[in-house]
Chain A
């Protein structure tokens, strides 16, 4: 291995690492020890306490500092001779363009989210730079190699889609704790503390729609003459009492279901509602020290609070928001690193769970569900980083034929804990690396250009700087240096129905959508269609040729997978750029569905059922989400697989 050729390939290489988190720390260390001399590293994150158990280049005193910069300094301490260039920045920033990528011999990803991975994949394709991709979850991990024209690109295979729930499951008929979490986080928390202009389905639909909508408009407003306790009581009684009562009036709903129980303040807090005492004022205004648990002297986040305790936490958290964080109200979104938000959501979800006779959960568990926190350990990251370096060296020596994708398994498959598989060839119908046209079914008389941009171009095609043309005419573009009149023109176009645009989009039209930064061009054939099924096709348009996760189609639990999402689901996903490296953009993080079509629980890593991909060995599902995804395991003795294994 330590041949002369190998040493010179390493020494002459200029390497770009994207991500300085769990995998990144291990990778930077192993690259340095292996003799790499010129390493660039991009990470927009700062260091958090929960990183310290595995991101070993960081210490308590580094909390709040740039990961990329601290990682560089830490590695230079034992290897001062080498060059490490840190960028405390988002890899999607426009200065990391194709020319930037072209200077590197290989790009190594240690990312945590689909969005950034897709972006880097496209830039690597455009710059023709090999990419080594990786991901871990608990004891599972994988490393894949993507070389333009020779192996499949990162987007050749379907990726797990965010799990979504039908609106009515969340608003009216929750059956699992996660439904209560989604309700507490995306509806109640968003309604009380988020943007007031957002659509919100918090109020249950009643037979008598008129009264409930009348009633709901002002109920969440904090009235001027009302003290916080009164306000909190009113909210509590409304969402846990009145709303459930209203839901109960829809008798059809409860024919085959257990009826929920309305809960009112008077039912749970027999004594005086908790007094606002001096404790609150003593705490300083630093966000992390503001805690309802501390206020109520609850210590163990592993404890499961009873209904009464949850109610007390609910009131305490709500009051702390209104008394101490008044200025945040109206622009908060749920953040798992905001302890008060986690407490509020835990309490609200548990009270709702109590109504519906769903088992209550601890704050620790609720936080994991609400924050999509993914299991992460140092050992798997170390193993995966070692495998990345081994593949990177093969790539640098032009030994493409010897490159492997490797799965790190929890239970041995045919004696293997580390299982190498030959890389797959590019998917000829991949719209990213094969430029295959897409087909969009849409009602061209009803859908606006804005719908096309938001529902297709941004969220499905993952473009951040899109430009849409019809023939030689520009319909829309995003950029910093646009003329004012063009901006106005595009803004006007956004609100126009497709068939009424200056250059009308109708059935048979071919539009071109491109992202200048990613240098990705897609042609989309437009097919006009009148009707769409509201539950199954909530976008009101259907894109073919793009490879979504088979979540909606294949799940056994059809009631959970009608594709409808709660209001904030689809909006929130693309906003997550490079979160804490153990976060996913999945809406719940509870379940992801491997491409084989079988569901597996993330929480079940200790005893995973290995789904078998019967169809073809070539399609071993890959979900290289760093620290956030399920890796599909191969059944022991699967004959198809053995053919491709070395």
Chain B
């Protein structure tokens, strides 16, 4: 054991989880800084989890005003006929999260996600972005990668009853316990841009159909200059057309991206709360692993679809 000891208060509060990941991990957690942008239901679930776990600080970014829809999916914001009295989503979530765990410093960073430069992200150990455009995912990921220190980068998205998590830990070295000995493991992650650029036909056969479907919808929104989630059943014919074009370009059978799956993703873009809870939980665990250096981190995509109930890890990288 090194570094300063946990306080009596911390030991009492974190008793049960210290029994899971140990004092060292708890100490590392309490010194870590996490940034989250895009505060819909799934991101909010994640925030709750890491505030409870006891990270050092959490910085929230989402200038959107509170709408009825946002309120419906958000357990952090008390019901209020005034829709939060003009506060932004980040501001209102911040107030509630502070209350969850007084030992975590929760704050708000105003501004558009795309306006933050490379230096801005240096303050953080973990960056999580949710419900943002393809361009924003690529650009924030690249900014994190330009820094000399490793900033763990994650995206999380939930559409209807489906969800996706992407992880970029760049070069990640960790100790893995095998029965009696400890072995050093090294993982090399591709960036989001690199990962999605991998030709579909070169990916392993039975890869999750959700991976392709999410790429089609994401691409559609970009081409049509839509905001994330700004899509409806009227768009389905054009989405299917785009699917066909992409499949042709990648020499992939169209049956790999069923019409029914795309229809689900297009019809309802609202997050289904149980799926948000599941994704927020998985993402919380991954972030805790990356900060503490304990446990095998996920590489590099996670998919959940409540129709088949499977929570799948897919490694989509060239290495």
Contact = CB atoms under 8 A, between A and B. Distances in A.
Given A34-B274, A50-B16, A418-B310, A378 B177 contact: no
A419 B160 contact: no
A417 B302 contact: yes
Contacts of B235: none
A32 B276 CA distance: 13
B41 interface: yes
A411 B284 contact: no
A29 interface: yes
A-B interface, 4 closest residue pairs, ranked by CB to CB distance from nearest = A418-B311, A386-B277, A420-B309, A383-B281
A411 B313 CA distance: 10
6 contacts: A377-B53, A378-B17, A379-B53, A382-B280, A382-B281, A606-B20
Contacts of A17: none
B11 A382 contact: no
Contact of B272 (A1, A52, A75, A404): A1
B75 A389 contact: no
Contacts of A139: 20, 285, 295
Interface stretch (B44-52, B115-123, B247-255): B44-52
B313 A386 contact: no
B294 interface: yes
B1 to A, nearest CB: 8
Nearest to B302: A417
A609 B41 CA distance: 35
B17 A607 contact: no
Interface stretch (B76-84, B149-157, B212-220, B223-231): B76-84
Contacts of B74: 78
A390 interface: yes
Contacts of A59: 99
Given A53-B16, A376-B17, A606 B177 contact: yes
B261 to A, nearest CB: 12
A249 to B, nearest CB: 39
Contacts of A492: none
Contacts of B263: none
Given A416-B311, A646-B310, A53 B17 contact: yes
Contact of B75 (A32, A60, A374): A32
Contacts of A368: 19
Interface residues of B, number: 71
B100 A56 contact: yes
Interface range on chain A: under 10, 10 to 19, 20 to 34, or 35 or more?
A: 35 or more
A378 B270 CA distance: 24
B77 A78 contact: yes
A594 to B, nearest CB: 18
A79 interface: yes
A43 interface: no
A404 B309 CA distance: 8
Contacts of A286: none
B69 interface: no
B153 to A, nearest CB: 19
A390 B19 contact: no
Contacts of A49: 12-13
Main secondary structure of the interface of A (DSSP, over half): mixed
Given A375-B19, A376-B20, A404-B309, A415 B12 contact: no
Nearest to B18: A364
B48 A56 contact: yes
- The CB with the most chain A CB atoms within 10 A, among B53, B178, B277, B307, is that of B277
A30 B52 CA distance: 17
B13 A52 contact: yes
B11 to A, nearest CB: 6
A419 B312 CA distance: 8
Contacts of B275: 386, 390
A378 B48 contact: yes
Nearest to A376: B16
B273 A33 contact: yes
Interface in A4-53: 26, 29-30, 32-34, 49-50, 52-53
A26 B102 CA distance: 20
B278 A420 contact: no
Nearest to A381: B281
Contacts of B274: 30, 34, 385-387, 389-390, 393
A417 B21 CA distance: 19
Nearest to A34: B273
B304 interface: yes
A300 B5 contact: yes
A361 interface: no
Kindly name the residue among B20, B100, B284 whose own CB sees the greatest number of chain A CB atoms within 10 A: B20
Nearest to A414: B312
Contacts of A378: 17, 48-49, 52-53, 281, 284
Interface in B68-95: 71-79
Given A53-B54, A382-B280, A1 B15 contact: no
Interface in B1-53: 1, 5, 8, 11-21, 23, 41, 45, 48-49, 52-53
B306 interface: yes
B268 interface: yes
A1 B310 contact: no
B282 A383 contact: yes
Contacts of A75: 75
Nearest to B8: A299
A50 B12 contact: yes
A538 interface: no
Given A54-B16, A375-B17, 5 more contacts: A52-B101, A56-B48, A373-B16, A393-B274, A416-B312
B314 interface: yes
A605 B19 CA distance: 10
Interface in A51-98: 52-54, 56, 59-60, 75, 77-81
A418 B19 contact: no
A149 interface: no
A139 B20 CA distance: 8
A412 interface: yes
Given A1-B268, A33-B273, A389-B274, A411 B296 contact: yes
B234 interface: no
Interface string A382-411: 110111011001000000000010101011
Given A375-B16, A646-B310, A386 B281 contact: yes
Given A390-B309, A417-B282, A417-B311, A53 B14 contact: yes
Contact of B284 (A300, A382, A420): A382
Given A33-B75, A78-B77, A382-B278, A138 B20 contact: yes
A80 B80 CA distance: 10
A29 B161 CA distance: 17
Contacts of A420: 308-310
B288 interface: yes
Interface in A291-312: 299-302
